[in-house]
Amino acid sequence: MTKVNPIQPIKANIQCRCGTVKGRIDSPSALRFVCYSKDCRGYYNALNALATKAGLPEAAVLDTFGGCDFTQIYPCEISIHEGQSKLETRLIRKGSPIPRTYAKCCFTPLFSTGGTGAALLNSALLSPEDQHCEVKYRIIGRHALKGDGSVPKPSNMSWSVPFGWFFTMPKRCQPDKAQPSPVELKDIKELEIIEGFASE
């Protein structure tokens, strides 16, 4: 059997749930993983709670085990060409190093960025035809939910992070690819905390 390279190019249009925010991804090197941490799930749950409060459908998609599916690319590979005024960037708590950007029109999670030069794109923004990456890692599995029994737990789910993570991911932190960024961030310490976040 031919081994498929999990790092693949992606060229695709993206948009939020309601279509107000539209953009483009042009990455020669994308890597996909699922995170089961309480922080990532808590952020998605907070967005879904805000959507419900506004009378909108939930737009932050979790898998059966409470995982957030991310496609790791770089900030310079994300461009937003419609709906820039609807971009909102928040922290989940004071002191968090990760600014998380969502569409405030419908509370769709878009991407997170930071000082490392990497960006984590919400994989659900990509259509099945545009998503060419298989999931390479499933991390922080110790915080995964039990699921509803409809599907078995993935065999590649790691209790923490797999050994290969420490070889692959540091090489993918490239500060020179942090600009141009899809969002102009002020001092991260001045960012507001998202309403309703709870690390569960």
Q: Which residues are CB-neighbours of 12 under 8 A, at least 6 positions away?
A: 24, 25, 126, 127, 130, 131
Percent of the chain beyond pLDDT 70? 98
Mean pLDDT of 127-134: 90
At 200 the pLDDT is 65
Q: Which residues are CB-neighbours of 3 under 8 A, at least 6 positions away?
A: none
> Could you tell me if 76 and 180 are in contact, meaning their C-beta atoms sit under 8 angstroms apart?
yes
Tens of pLDDT, residues 74-90: 999 999 999 999 999 99
Mean pLDDT of 21-28: 97
The mean of the pLDDT values for the chain is 93
Q: Which residue in 105, 90, 102, 98 sits closest to 18, CA to CA?
A: 105
DSSP 50-92: HHHHTT--------TTSPEEEEEE-GGGEEEEE-GGGEEEEBS
Return the higher-pLDDT residue of 32 and 114.
32
Q: Which residue in 135, 125, 105 sits closest to 61, CA to CA?
A: 125
At 1 the pLDDT is 42
Q: Which residue in 110, 125, 112, 107 sits closest to 48, CA to CA?
A: 107
Tens of pLDDT, residues 137-173: 999 999 999 998 899 999 999 999 999 999 999 999 9
Q: Which of these ranges, 3-12, 68-77, 136-145, has the smallest mean pLDDT?
A: 3-12
At 2 the pLDDT is 46
At 170 the pLDDT is 92
At 4 the pLDDT is 56
Task: Give the torsion sign (CA, 197, 32, 64, 21).
Answer: positive
Percent of the chain beyond pLDDT 90? 84
